[in-house]
């Protein structure tokens, strides 16, 4: 190791930036431009049809402006390499945004928004028979600037096929446990942490693998699609959209539906209430590989959150069921790196014999602290993952703080101790 501390790197300073404002602006121009200059914003006619709106979506995708915010009384904006830009020549009237909702969600969309219901849906634009642009979309009624009653639509692009698992830099211990024959795998993290991508890539790995399986997913809405992967070798993946006007009207129907369909692998979305947790337990106990998500930050917190769904007098039995069902918990965060893209960082825990035996010996109210200790002992925490990237000069000091959830003082002390120990 160099005699110079990693903390003395210019990018490690909180005040220092990975690149100058001028360089960032130049990068932005290069991304949203051509060899002859910056691409002009799109001129969307006031009386645009659905075909003309789809043409705008295609144009935005071609110019890497695929994550869009469309609001009443505002320009359409897009986040391009982390920087927000206006991508239309004018702002849209409220009735035009309502028209987009009606086109892409359905004619009932505006009325549902007026009733106070947000809309989550998949937005698709066909390029040709074999190519479709897909987006996660949300529409919410809100105040927009000085417009008291408006609509805000957010779209996030989804590649047609998920990336191959081998491109995600998954740790070997995770890969060794990610494909159980039966049991529960949890992928946890905040919104936008890449949970859906990780699970979809896992499905792709199975569909392209040598062992035929039947996979069913329950999604709100359907995100990644898989084309004809697996056709002729195994049943093609069945993706069930949840919600009003979708394939099933609520997640409460997913558990009973899955049990009647003789699947090998069930991807059931978020564990959001007692009913979904009990369905997950039942499917994992009856010979299915079950994948689900949860909005917590660490593996230790996930166990406590799931048990908390049960009444107090039922929690000890629920904890024991969970201990028997769990195979793996993966927590994930995404943060900018020094290459101008984003990197995934993971904290994870394999539920092997050692972990299950340790939990069996203690009451469940001690499990969260125990699991946090085991994760730390095994070097599978977010700070371990972030420190490896920081020591290889892949991320800034600020990014290390973000991933590790440390203050500046805590992060400085952690790094100094690691350096002193030659880690």
What residues does each domain of the chain span?
50-158, 165-380
Q: In angstroms, rounded to a whole number, what is the distance separating the alpha carbons of residues 89 and 76?
A: 9
Nearest Cα to 319, choosing from 267, 360, 377, 275? 360
The reported pTM is 0.77
Element (H or E) spanning 220, and its range?
none
Long-range CB contacts (< 8 A, 24+ apart) of 205-211?
205/164, 205/165, 205/179, 206/179, 206/265, 207/234, 207/237
Fold of 50-158: Beta-Lactamase (3.30.450)
Report yes or no: 203 and 267 within 8 Å, Cβ to Cβ. yes
Q: Tell me whether the omega of the peptide bond preceding residue 346 falls within 30 degrees of 0, making it cis.
A: no
pLDDT string in tens for the chain (423-residue length): 445 566 766 554 443 433 333 333 334 443 444 333 467 899 999 999 999 999 999 999 988 886 899 999 999 999 876 688 999 999 999 999 999 999 999 999 999 999 999 998 889 888 876 678 889 899 999 999 999 999 999 998 887 789 999 999 999 999 999 999 999 999 999 988 999 999 999 999 999 999 999 999 998 878 888 989 999 999 999 999 887 667 888 888 888 899 899 999 999 888 988 988 998 998 999 999 999 999 999 999 999 999 999 999 999 999 999 999 999 999 999 999 999 888 999 999 999 999 999 999 999 999 999 999 999 999 999 999 999 999 999 999 999 999 999 999 999 999 999 999 876
Yes or no: is domain 165-380 CATH 3.40.50.300?
yes
Q: How many CB atoms lie within 10 A of CB 269?
A: 20
């Amino acid at each position: 190791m160099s005699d110079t501390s990693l903390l003395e790197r210019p990018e490690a300073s909180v005040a220092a930036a990975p690149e100058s404002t001028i360089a960032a602006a130049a990068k932005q121009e290069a991304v949203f431009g051509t060899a002859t200059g910056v691409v002009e914003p799109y001129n969307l006619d006031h009386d645009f049809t659905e075909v003309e709106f789809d043409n705008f979506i295609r144009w935005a995708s071609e110019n890497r402006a695929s994550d869009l915010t469309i609001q009443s009384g505002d320009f359409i904006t897009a986040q391009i390499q982390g920087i927000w830009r206006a991508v239309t020549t004018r702002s849209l009237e409220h009735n035009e945004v309502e028209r987009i909702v009606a086109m892409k969600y359905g004619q009932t969309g505006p009325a549902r928004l007026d009733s106070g219901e947000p809309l989550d849906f998949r937005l698709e634009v066909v390029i040709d028979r074999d190519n479709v642009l897909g987006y996660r979309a949300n529409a919410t009624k809100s105040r927009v600037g000085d417009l008291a009653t408006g609509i805000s639509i957010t779209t996030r692009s989804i590649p047609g096929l998920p990336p191959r698992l081998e491109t995600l830099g998954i740790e070997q211990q995770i890969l060794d446990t990610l494909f159980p024959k039966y049991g529960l795998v949890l992928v946890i993290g905040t919104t936008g942490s890449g949970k859906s991508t990780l699970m979809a890539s896992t499905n792709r790995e199975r569909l392209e693998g040598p062992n035929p399986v039947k996979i069913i997913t329950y999604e709100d809405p359907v995100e990644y699609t898989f084309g004809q992967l697996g056709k002729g070798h195994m049943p093609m993946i069945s993706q069930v959209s949840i919600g009003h006007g979708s394939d099933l009207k609520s997640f409460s129907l997913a558990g009973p539906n899955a049990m009647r369909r003789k699947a090998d692998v069930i991807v059931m979305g978020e564990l959001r209430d007692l009913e979904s947790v009990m369905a997950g337990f039942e499917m994992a106990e009856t010979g299915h590989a079950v994948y689900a998500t949860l909005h917590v930050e660490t593996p230790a917190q996930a166990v406590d959150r799931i048990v908390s769904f049960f009444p107090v007098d039922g929690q000890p039995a629920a904890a024991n069921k969970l201990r028997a069902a769990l195979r793996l918990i993966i927590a994930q965060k995404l943060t900018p790196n020094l290459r101008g893209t984003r990197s995934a960082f993971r904290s994870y825990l394999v539920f092997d014999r050692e972990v299950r035996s340790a939990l069996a010996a203690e009451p469940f109210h001690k499990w969260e602290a125990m699991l946090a200790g085991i994760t730390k002992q095994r070097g599978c925490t977010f700070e371990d993952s972030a420190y490896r990237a920081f020591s290889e000069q892949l991320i800034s000091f600020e990014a290390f703080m973000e991933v590790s959830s440390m203050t500046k003082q805590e992060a400085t002390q952690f790094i100094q101790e690691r350096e002193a120990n030659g880690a």
